[in-house]
Amino acid sequence: MSEEYYLAIETSCDETCSSIINSDGNIISNVVFSQAEIHNKYGGVLPDIASKNHTEKIGVVIEESLQKANIELKEVKKVFVTNGPGLINCLMIGVTAARTISLINQIPVYPINHVEGHIASCFIEHKITFPALCLVVSGGHTSMFMLYNSKEFNLIGNTVDDAAGEAFDKGAKILGLGYPGGILIDKLSKNVKKDFYKFPIAKMGKNSLNFSFSGLKTSLKYYLDKNKDWEKNLNQIAASYQEAIVDSLLENLLKAFKKFNPSSIMITGGVACNSRLRSKAEEAFKNKTKVFIPSIQYCTDNAAMIGKRGFQLENDLNLKGEFEVFSTSKKLV
């Protein structure tokens, strides 16, 4: 069969994304319009503003992904679209665009789970060896999975409250840095002392692989209340706060590694952009196992990962004319 082209769309939060993937599973184009600057002045993502911007941008983003792939809309043979979890108003924009294209081209449209998309992002640039232990760490999710192949996996740990990215974003807000907090804290933390203050890491019990981050931002608040002159040590405080998040993630990853003895480790999601997490993970598993982390463009929300997940499931997906759009996490397939 000659090469075919598929379109993937992702609009679950504040990035408007479109990608073209071919029938061999290769990413041909990947376009992201980030609304981060728009939401920066509000200190977080406002769902109505996000969906308004998706509506305004979705057409041009799809158009650009077609142009970059050097194909026309009529050549697209399948559409993959994120249907959850995410902000309902935002998901609806992507799903409506996907359904419209499927009607115009008379082609199937398939719903793709956003978290499964993040997992699939590790397969874009790397040949993963199984069984693999995967940490998905983003603004909305902090979960660990054991993957036995690209289709069979079990959830083995989850956050019981905030996600790690949320801890970065809330911490940055408390420190007066703006949104999105992760990248700002990451920048401030470079080349400064990381053990200036030891923020507490939540202990979830000897056998638990769960995470908890809500106490961390409270301890940051207490620290700032007690130390009125904290601003002069802003960088060290940010670095210490980041260290607590990174160490908490790595502690559980090491625990899971000992328990499941995987043949590789995958780390993905927006927080996987964090330079300290990337270097400490490499260090922690040096001489133990391979660590696969996607390049930055595939860690944060993007449509290439949705296309890749669609490609992985291609033969298992049924044509779904009708499908649910959902905001909360669901059991993954």
Binders of ligand KG4 in range 157-186 (CB under 6 A): 165, 168-169, 180-183, 186
Helix axis angle, 164-174 relative to 181-189, nearest 10°?
70
Binders of ligand KG4 in range 288-307 (CB under 6 A): 300-301
**Site track for Zn ion across 125-144, x = CB under 5 A:** -------------x------
Residue 19 φ/ψ, nearest 5 degrees:
-145, 150
Contact flag: residue 169 with Zn ion (CB under 5 A): no
| DSSP class per residue in 110-150 | EEEEHHHHHHHHHHHH----SSEEEEEESSS-EEEEEESSS
Task: List beta partners, residue 15.
Answer: 34
Contact flag: residue 94 with ligand KG4 (CB under 6 A): no
Taking the complex as a whole, the smallest distance from the CB of residue 231 to Zn ion amounts, in Å, to 32
Per CB under 6 A, the list member of 157, 171, 262, 269 interacting with ligand KG4 is 269
Quote the CA–CA distance of 71 and 58 in Å, as a whole number: 18
Q: Note whether 272 and 278 are within 8 A (CB).
A: yes
Quote the CA–CA distance of 277 and 215 in Å, as a whole number: 20
Which of ligand KG4, Zn ion, none is residue 165 near (CB under 5 to 8 Å by kind)?
Answer: ligand KG4
Q: Note whether 157 and 211 are within 8 A (CB).
A: yes
Which of ligand KG4, Zn ion, none is residue 274 near (CB under 5 to 8 Å by kind)?
Answer: ligand KG4
Quote the CA–CA distance of 145 and 183 in Å, as a whole number: 25
Contact flag: residue 236 with Zn ion (CB under 5 A): no
Binders of ligand KG4 in range 120-159 (CB under 6 A): 138-140
Contact flag: residue 111 with ligand KG4 (CB under 6 A): no
Torsion over CA: 140, 270, 123, 128 (sign): negative
Contact flag: residue 14 with Zn ion (CB under 5 A): no
Which of Zn ion, ligand KG4, none is residue 186 near (CB under 5 to 8 Å by kind)?
Answer: ligand KG4
Contact flag: residue 45 with ligand KG4 (CB under 6 A): no
Taking the complex as a whole, the smallest distance from the CB of residue 300 to Zn ion amounts, in Å, to 7
Residues in contact with ligand KG4 by CB under 6 A are 13, 138-140, 165, 168-169, 180-183, 186, 269-271, 273-274, 300-301
